[in-house]
Amino acid sequence: MLHFASSTRPPFRGPLAALGDLVDAANEFSHALETRHGIEIAARLGAVHRQLHYLTGELREISDELDATVSGLPPHRVPRPHHLPAPRSDRGIQAQAGPGPEPRRARTQAAPQAFTTPNTAPPPTRIR
């Protein structure tokens, strides 16, 4: 992810490179105003552009070091999707114990009927 964010090469330019281009364009525009205030803003934008360039280089260097250091996560750090069941840890004990769980039995009771109000109930009164 860091490598993508700090990428500056044309086919896969990351968001930091795009932000650098935006700051550089704003710098050129404010410098082209040729006013004292425009030149002050251009100087500030130039400082932001230099800091952004430095940050992009640092992130690129860190991502390269991280890629060289880490080849894979340890097993206890690998995320498991919540929709998949966890792997069984009994390691074949169930196969020795006997048959699996009992099959579900058919329902023998009728479903309860929904509660209905009788037609003879008085109408509700309004509380004032």
Strand (E) or helix (H) holding 42: helix 36-69
**Residue 126 C-beta-side C-alpha neighbours within 13 Å:** 1
Q: How far is CA 23 from CA 16, 51, 74, 103, in A?
A: 10, 11, 41, 68
pLDDT surpasses 70 at 100: no
Terminal-residue alpha carbon distance, the chain = 63
Per-residue pLDDT, 50:
94
pLDDT digits (tens, 9 = 90+) for 37-93: 999 999 999 999 999 999 998 998 988 888 887 767 677 777 776 666 766 766 655
Tokens 């932000």 correspond to what residue? 19
108 token code pair: 């023998």
| Band of residue 105 on the pLDDT scale cut at 50, 70, 90 | low
User: Are the beta carbons of 53 and 27 closer than 8 angstroms?
Assistant: no
